[in-house]
């Protein structure tokens, strides 16, 4: 685990990918890979109890045709359907919150942010889409190169668990599993053949940048991601409002039951859900919170000015990237990060585990017009 994994060729490739992503090439200490960061003792947001006045549910917002423009297209296969992007109108929104649930994450202060219009993938990138990319390019993910990735213990077969003796001290339910990667999310005896429409997992930041670049897209900035998440609503916890379960319905794939011992799956999914599951938000985006964590292009920092900004792109450099939205493993008692304002980091970019992504673009790629 602790041995340096980055050969010269790998570093050149790493730099190339970073260059493609218009980022600085850095030699971050990539030998220290940690868990997906779901765990955060003391980060419980349980005390938060919001007023829910004006609450409405997502299917209502999704009918606001004036803000959601499906991409023009002829007949599509189910596969290319997943490539669709939503038009996100430019505007000003309040990023972050003055009532941070997780202090050390730098969710605050609330600040006004103005963005130009852009496009955002409607769905998390699916296994089918990622396979398409790998078939076309021969791309090898970092988890495949490194030979392992972190997997939640509860998802592993006894056979795989038997061979593992090392866990992450702060999050002992994460185990480094040999040969776990996007094709084998729970290790070598698992496969994705029955979940091609689920989000791809075990994708590093570099892998995500490579995919988006190939697709003629890019990763969203954190501001773009959060603006997209809010779906046109101001000052709400979730993409559809403040209630986690409007009308008693599940709108998100997270963890029900006591974490990490009992995964009740009351939302219908113990693991990932299809990227098309649950109602979309006001911009037509599915599973922007929950299901898979999503990478953004920004470097991580917790130091934000309250000043209004225009198209912010995060700090000029750093050592970790911002991920947003939480995952199917988030429970309020440990990972209350399935809020639009919530954020987390990974150490370093090559961490993968339960990370997925979606891409953004300034203009619609030709093949989607
Ligand atoms: C990728 O290639 C494999 C092997 O040729 C094929 O079975 C699979 O259907 C392809 N996947 C996609 C998404 O086109
Ligand atoms: C994929 O995994 C499923 C569920 O574990 C299993 O039933 C199936 O046989 C596996 N398919 C392949 C090709 O290994
Ligand atoms: C935070 O940012 C402000 C202004 O951008 C700067 O003056 C200050 O030194 C920063 N603090 C830290 C701890 O980086
Ligand atoms: Ca679930
Ligand atoms: Ca998500």
Task: Note the pLDDT of residue 77.
Answer: 41
**Alpha carbons within 13 A on the beta-carbon side of 346:** 31
pLDDT (tens digit per residue) in 245-290: 999 999 999 999 999 999 999 999 999 999 999 999 999 999 999 9
Nearest CA to 79 out of 270, 275, 246, 219 is that of 275
- 131 within ligand 1 shell (Cβ under 6 A): yes
Q: What is d(CA 206, CA 339) in angstroms, rounded to the nearest whole number?
A: 25
Residues of the chain with pLDDT under 70: 1-82, 347-350
List beta partners, residue 94: 112
How many helices, marked H, and strands, marked E, lie in the chain? 8, 12
Locate the ligand 2 atom nearest the alpha carbon of residue 192 and give its number. 1
137 alpha carbon – ligand 5 mean position (Å): 25
Residues 242 and 55: beta-carbon distance below 8 Å: yes
Nearest-ligand number for the alpha carbon of 193: 2
How confident is the model at residue 81, as a pLDDT? 60
- What is the residue whose two structure tokens read 């689920």? 198
Pocket test for ligand 1, best of 129, 135, 138, 197 (most atoms within 8 A of CB): 135
Q: Confirm or reject: Cβ of 127 under 6 Å from ligand 1.
A: no
Cα 83 to ligand 4 centroid, rounded to whole Å: 24
The residues that bridge with 309 in the sheet, in sequence order, are 113
How many whole angstroms separate alpha carbon 198 and alpha carbon 272? 6
The distance of Cα 162 from the centroid of its chain, to the nearest Å, equals 30
Q: What is the pLDDT of residue 346?
A: 80
Residue closest via CA to ligand 3's atom 9 equals: 303
The neighbour count for residue 227, using CB atoms within 10 Å, is: 27
Residues with CB under 6 A from ligand 2: 191, 193-194
Q: Which of 193, 198, 272 to mutate to test the pocket of ligand 2 (most atoms within 8 A of CB)?
A: 193
Tokens, residue 304: 């934000």
Whole-number pLDDT of residue 208? 97
List, as ranges, residues with CB under 5 A of the ion ligand 4.
253, 267, 269, 328
**Ligand 1 centroid to residue 136 C-alpha, Å:** 9
Bridging pattern class, strands 321-324 and 293-299: antiparallel
CA distance 116 to 122: 18
Measuring CA to CA, which residue among 236, 218, 216 is closest to residue 226? 236
Q: pTM for this structure?
A: 0.81
Closest ligand 1 atom to the C-alpha of 132?
13
E-assigned strands of the chain? Answer: 85-88, 91-95, 111-115, 118-121, 148-152, 174-178, 293-299, 309-310, 321-324, 344-345, 355-356, 360-361
Sign of CA dihedral 110, 221, 89, 132: negative
Closest Cα to atom 7 of ligand 2? 194
Measured distance CA(65)–CA(103) in Å, rounded: 37
> What's residue 349's pLDDT?
60
> If phi over 0 gives left and psi between -120 and 50 gives alpha, with beta otherwise, what is residue 53?
beta
């Amino acid at each position: 685990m602790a041995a340096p994994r980055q050969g010269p060729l790998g570093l050149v490739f790493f730099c190339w990918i970073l260059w493609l992503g218009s980022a600085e090439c850095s030699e971050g200490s990539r030998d220290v890979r940690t868990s997906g960061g779901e765990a955060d003792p003391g980060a419980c947001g349980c005390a938060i109890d919001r007023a829910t006045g004006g609450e409405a549910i997502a299917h209502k917002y999704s009918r606001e045709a004036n803000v959601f423009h499906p991409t023009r297209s002829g007949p599509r296969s189910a596969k290319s359907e997943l490539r669709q992007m939503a038009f996100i109108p430019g505007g000003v929104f309040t990023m972050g919150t003055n009532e941070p649930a997780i202090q050390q994450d730098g969710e605050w202060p609330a600040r006004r942010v103005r963005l130009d219009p852009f496009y955002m993938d409607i769905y998390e990138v699916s296994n089918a889409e990622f396979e398409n990319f790998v078939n076309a390019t021969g791309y090898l993910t970092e988890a495949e190169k490194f030979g392992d990735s972190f997997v939640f213990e509860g998802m592993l077969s006894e056979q795989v668990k038997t061979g593992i003796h090392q866990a992450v001290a702060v999050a002992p339910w994460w185990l480094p599993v040999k040969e776990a990667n996007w094709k084998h999310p729970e290790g070598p005896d698992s496969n994705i053949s029955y979940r091609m429409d689920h989000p791809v997992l075990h994708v590093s930041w570099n892998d995500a940048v490579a995919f988006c670049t190939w697709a003629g897209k890019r990763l969203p900035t954190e501001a773009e991601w959060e603006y997209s998440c809010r779906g046109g609503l101001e000052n709400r916890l979730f993409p559809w409002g403040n209630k986690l379960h409007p009308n008693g319905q599940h709108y998100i794939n997270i963890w029900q039951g006591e974490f990490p011992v009992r995964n009740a799956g009351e939302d219908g999914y113990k693991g990932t859900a299809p990227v098309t599951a649950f109602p979309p938000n006001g911009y037509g985006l599915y599973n922007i919170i929950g299901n898979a964590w999503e990478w953004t292009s920004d470097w991580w920092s917790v130091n934000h000015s309250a000043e209004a900004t225009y198209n912010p792109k995060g700090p000029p450099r750093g050592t970790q990237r911002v991920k947003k939205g939480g995952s199917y493993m988030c429970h309020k008692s440990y990972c209350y990060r399935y809020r639009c304002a919530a954020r987390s980091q990974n150490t370093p970019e090559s961490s993968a585990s339960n990370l997925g992504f979606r891409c953004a673009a300034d203009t619609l790629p030709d093949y989607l017009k």
